[in-house]
Structure 1
Amino acid sequence: EVVPTVPTVRWTAPDVEDAEIVVEPDGGEPWSVAVDTDTPDGAFTTMVLGLKAAHAYTLTVQARTTDGVRSSEPLALTTGPPPTELPRITVEATDPDAMHRGYVITGLLNPPAAVILDSDGDYVWWYQPATLSGVVRTIVSHDGQSILLGGVNLDFAESAPILRVRYDGLELGTLDIPHRHHDFTELPDGTVAALTDDGRTVEGVEVRGDRLVELSPDGTLRTVYSVWTDHEFSPEDAGWTGPGGIIGWPHANYVEYRAADDSYNVSFLHLDGIAHIDRGTGEQRWFLGGADSTLTDAEGSAAFFDGQHGLQQLDDSLIVFVNGAGATDSRAVEVSIDPEAGRATPTWSYWPDPSLGSPVLGDVHRFDDGNTLVTFSFAGEIHEVTPDGVPIWTLSSELGGALSFVRFAERLQP
């Protein structure tokens, strides 16, 4: 597999102190890519990331050596086109100065693919796995050297591996976490946290609950949390019936790691709530939403969500993608939280106009300036909106091009 937007530049020079590759797009502004010069033999290799598909570029190596600055001859190249089966992407920017430029890292359900798009809606990277029926999560590894991607596994299969792929398309291997499903994330030390099934028999019926596990870089697998610890199965909470009459409950579908307090947030769809879990002890510190909520508003209500997926915890609030009970009432909401007081208060929401529906998936990302990226996965749209809820950038995938969870990166180069 070769990704024709990722050229590998190889060159040699003696006594190099530092170096960069200057990238000049045809008709665009140049930028530079730093080169790792920590090599003993004066031979250097760098993958250049972020190039648009089917575009012309000129690359020039500039190196500072003990003898002064040296430059290579310019290398002209044209990147290859994306596969024809990938959906066409369009972008509308109503306020280019206020929008955030960078890269959208996501997956496609049909055709199954992991993709990276730039702010103009151009494909800059893709990978089409032969073994997945859809890509639900795509992330860049913490060391910036590879991409991790995985499917959803709604059939309770024992094996649902996470694939690790290099930017040039070389598959580096798999992480096989038994009964993994939906979502995973990587911690700074390379540990991978994932949602898995946790089956129990309740009154003669097999019920698949959920647990959160960690796979460390040395291969050690440990359980962090099981939903059975704090929540009791009720037939009304059953999500769906799988193969052999197995009941799926409570449908964990999203996991976020927070380095600030070494904790996890896990969304449970059919509990209409989110668990905040201490990573070290496995204790559920609080639960937001639904009948099991430990936080309520001033009227004692915890009806904050009617089905939810993507989330992000801020300093004293959570922003959450709410799927909604109807066909076209998906939205993003922000809820302030005070766990010590047991209080939660809705403070912000974004309802698109015209309305959109994403009955599954969906994601959110809050920027430091208060703008919010809202992904309506099944509608194939991503909106960047201001704190006042005004859309300033919209990415749209053609009909049928459903998007999955989203990560945003200002740059790709390690």
Structure 2
Amino acid sequence: MALASVSGCSSTAPPDGALASGGSTASGGRSVGNGGSTQEIEGGTAGSGGSSGGNGTTSSGGFRPAGGSQGTGLVPSESGGASGDGGSVPTAGSGGSTSSSGGVSGAGGSMVGSGGSNGGAPTVSGETVDGDTCSFVVSHTRSEAIGTVEIVTWSTDLAGVVEADIEFGLAGRELSMVAPVNLDEPGHRTLLLGMKGARDYAFRIVARSVESTCTSAEVVFTTGAVPDWVPVITKSTSSEGASKGFIVTTPGFDLLRSRGDFMVPSVYVFDTDGDVVWWSPRLVRDPTSARIGWDGTVMWLVDLYEKGILRISMDGMVVEEIPGLEDAHHDFAVLKDGGIATMLRGKPESFVEVAPDGTITTIVEDLSTLYDADTFHPNAVHYHPEDESYTLSDLYLEGFVKFTRSGELVWQLGGKSPKGPSFELVGLEPWVGNHGHHLTADGRFLFFNNDAPSANPAVPPNMRPSAIIEVALDENDWTATKTWDYSAELFSRQLGDVQRLPNGNVLVTYSNAGVIEEVTPSGEVVQAFDNSRANEEWGVGMAMFGYATFRTSLYGEPPR
């Protein structure tokens, strides 16, 4: 096939260097409760995050803790590591008991070493804080795994509390970030997420009963420093009208195996100032996609080749691998019930859903029942709750399919030999190579075209600039009419992503180039983020992005 070099992704695992599994982790690791919020980014305020789905992403025993040997060099050691004294975040050794109380992981199963990334997190316990009509007893401490996450527990003498939030933000400014409180959590345990490193912040608790509202005085604290092994994101463009929020991403596929044993976070989040606000240690070699779970309590991660799907508590304290999903690859979708859906590598390729307790249900046993391809290479998936369906990209199909959660084909866009309804392309020729995509509520379908046609005939296939294409889908006339396209003359052979933003702009991720742009409908770049500094410091292959998702808030349901 002519497209063999577009992907650069083999169907077999790369040689050696896999992180070993082992150790144990507590089954607790609680995080923030339900709800949406408004997040403040320095210099502006983001829109609303929306409401969350249900509770219950914690396994009832079906998941195993992620462990691993220290001999690989992929993670910092307990005694030191990249962050100096106290180390950053070790993986598990041996032992570790299961805890039913939630807070701390077992010895050897936690992501926290002696001192963690913060060298001993400051803790304030049982402080009485006055409110305007009541009083609070407040404890708060920095996460030992992620220094920009603050963990707050509290109680109040306000009777009959039915709802609560924690408002927080940079000290001395408007507290415009809002963490929803899950009142069912012991001590109303709540995480403050999305904060910059080594900065003074403040929070106040707002508790509501049926009859009244009580707001606490402000409590000031300082976040920990961001480790020096976390990528430095350069914001190269900034214009009026750019979105404010956060981008969840990964380092992507290490095609040239140039990362070696460098400490690189497997997933990280940066805000639209370019500041990294959340990260994991290096857990896998080829993290291609990461997404916050539907209820906002966990971060999910997929390894392209070796480890399958991992789940990380948002306080960074617990990492779990999911048995039975070692063959998951490329991408996955988070579901309303707290589970996920993903593709499994094999002959045949299949598609499965995973419940919060680890139960795996096969939705499509063989993807060839949905579409034809010379080689099956599914690489990106999205869940659509409005009609309980999925859209799936396949590189060698050179197209996409939509199918229901019961595995029934709805339609095919692009490709050949459709097995059900398909769209006639209007104003658009068949394309070469596709990965990330976004089906919007108004029937527009945007996708990342890896190898777009070039006006320069001297440019060979598989080296032509990538492009974003938007089509309007008409399921009455079965036409897909091209309505928009964009190219920055950058090329991404692997991955590549696109997302329509709440303000109508488009987020474009050139994975191989290490560039993410926000583009207006007129083609103006209003902000851009670049990871090229990693190439300068560590060599080729370090500056990639995986798939990327913009969120106005790190709480609440996902934006797509």
TM range (shorter): 0.7 to 0.9
Paired residue for 1:384? 518
Give the structure 1 partner of residue 487 of structure 2.
351
Aligned counterparts of 1:45 and 1:119: Cα–Cα separation in 2: 27
Paired position in structure 1 for 2:338: 190
Q: CA deviation at 1:24?
A: 4.0
What secondary structure is seen at the aligned counterpart in 1 of 2:337? coil
Relative to structure 1, is the Cα distance of residues 180 and 361 closer, same or farther in structure 2, using a 3 angstrom cutoff?
same
After TM superposition, the structure 1 = structure 2 runs for residues 88-167 of structure 1, keeping only pairs within 5 Å, are: 88-96=232-240, 98-109=241-252, 111-130=264-283, 132-153=284-305, 160-167=307-314
For residue 448 of structure 2, the aligned residue among 321, 328, 331 is 321
Q: How far, CA to CA, are the matches of 2:218 and 2:244 in structure 1?
A: 30
Cα distance, 1:59 vs structure 2: 3.2
Superposed CA offset, 1:3-40 (max 9, x none)? 00001122332225355434241565432535537359
Determine whether 1:331 maps to 2:467.
Answer: yes
Cα deviations across residues 110-143 of structure 1 (Å, max 9, x unaligned)?
524211111101011000243x102111111111
User: CA-to-partner distance for each residue in 1:211-264, whole Å, 9 max, x for gaps?
Assistant: 211122344323222222244454xxxxxxxxxxxxxx2211001111122211
> Secondary structure of the residue that 2:396 maps to in structure 1?
helix
Q: Which residue of 1 aligns with 2:506?
A: 372
Does the CA-based 8 Å contact 1:24-1:58 persist in structure 2? yes
Give 1:295's match in structure 2, choosing from 405, 410, 423.
423
TM-score, normalised to structure 2, is 0.62
Which residue number corresponds to residue 212 of structure 1? 351
- Going from structure 1 to structure 2, the CA distance change for 1:11 and 1:220 (only over 3 Å counts) comes to closer
1:173 maps to 320
1:394 aligns with 2:533: no
Query: Which has the larger share of strand?
Result: 1
Which structure has the higher relative contact order (CA within 8 Å, separation 6+)?
A: 2
Q: CA deviation at 1:107?
A: 0.9
Please tell me whether the aligned partners of residues 500 and 506 of structure 2 are also in contact (alpha carbons under 8 angstroms).
Answer: yes
Q: Give the conservation status (yes or no) of the 8 Å contact 2:236–2:529.
A: yes
Query: Structure 2: which amino acid aligns with 1:213?
Result: V
Give the residue type in structure 1 aligned to 2:248.
I
On the 8 A contact 1:19/1:34 being kept in 2, the answer is no
Check 1:38–1:26 CA distance in 2 against 1; reply closer, same or farther (3 A cut): closer
Match of 1:81 in 2: 225
CA contact (8 A) 1:288 1:302 kept: no
The equivalent residue for 2:401 is 275
Query: In structure 2, do the counterparts of structure 1 residues 346 and 59 end up closer, same or farther at CA, with 3 Å as the change threshold?
Result: same
**147, 152, 158: which one pairs with 1:4?**
147
The one-letter code of the counterpart of 2:390 is Y
Between the aligned partners of 1:289 and 1:68, the Cα distance in structure 2 is 55
Moved more, 257-266 or 170-179: 170-179
Post-superposition shift, 1:178? 4.7
Q: Distance in 2 between matches of 1:364 and 1:385?
A: 10
Q: 1:284 to 1:93 in 2, by over 3 A?
A: same
Contact kept, 8 Å, 1:20 with 1:32, in 2: the verdict is: no
TM-score, normalised with respect to structure 1? 0.83
Relative to structure 1, the CA distance from residue 217 to residue 345 in structure 2 (aligned partners, 3 Å threshold; closer, same or farther) is same
CA displacement 1:155-201 (0-9 Å, x = unmatched): xx6xx3311111211125222325211111111112311011241xx
SS at match of 2:416: coil
**Separation in structure 2 between the aligned mates of residue 123 and residue 24 of structure 1, nearest angstrom:** 16
Seen in structure 2, the aligned counterparts of structure 1 residues 72 and 290 have a Cα distance that, compared at 3 Å, is: same
Shift of the 145–37 alpha-carbon distance from structure 1 to 2, 3 Å rule, reads closer
**Residue 136 of structure 1: SS of its match in structure 2?**
strand
- TM-superposed CA distance for 1:63, in Å, is 4.9
Q: Contact conserved, 1:60 with 1:75, CA < 8 A, in 2?
A: no
Aligned-partner Cα distance in 2 for 1:369–1:313 = 16
| 1:375 Cα deviation after fit | 0.7
User: Is contact 2:164-2:183 (8 Å) kept?
Assistant: no
TM-aligned CA deviation for residue 82 of structure 1: 2.2
1:229 maps to 2:369: yes
Q: Count residues in correspondence.
A: 377
Alpha-carbon distance, 1:270 to partner: 1.2
Provide structure 1 residue ranges, at least 5 long, that are not aligned to the other structure.
200-208, 235-248
After TM superposition, the structure 1 = structure 2 runs for residues 54-69 of structure 1, keeping only pairs within 5 Å, are 54-61=198-205, 63=207, 69=214
Q: Which residue identity lines up with residue 392 of structure 1 in the other structure?
A: V
Q: Which amino acid aligns with 1:50?
A: G
Match of 1:255 among 370, 381, 386: 381
Deviation at 1:405, TM superposition (A): 0.7
Range 290-299 or range 398-407, more displaced: 290-299
Counterparts in 2 of 1:90 and 1:197: CA distance versus 1, 3 Å: same
User: Counterpart in 1 of 2:47?
Assistant: none
Amino acid at match of 1:186: V
Q: Partners in 2 of 1:307 and 1:180 — Cα distance?
A: 21
Aligned to 2:53: none
Structure 1 residues 266 and 75: CA distance shift in structure 2, 3 A: same
| CA–CA distance in structure 1, aligned partners of residues 355 and 331 of structure 2 | 17
1:75-107 CA-partner distances (Å, limit 9, x unpaired): 332x222222222111144423x1111110111
Contact 1:48–1:413 (Cα < 8 Å) also in 2: no
Residues 168 and 269 of structure 1, relative CA distance in 2, 3 Å threshold: same
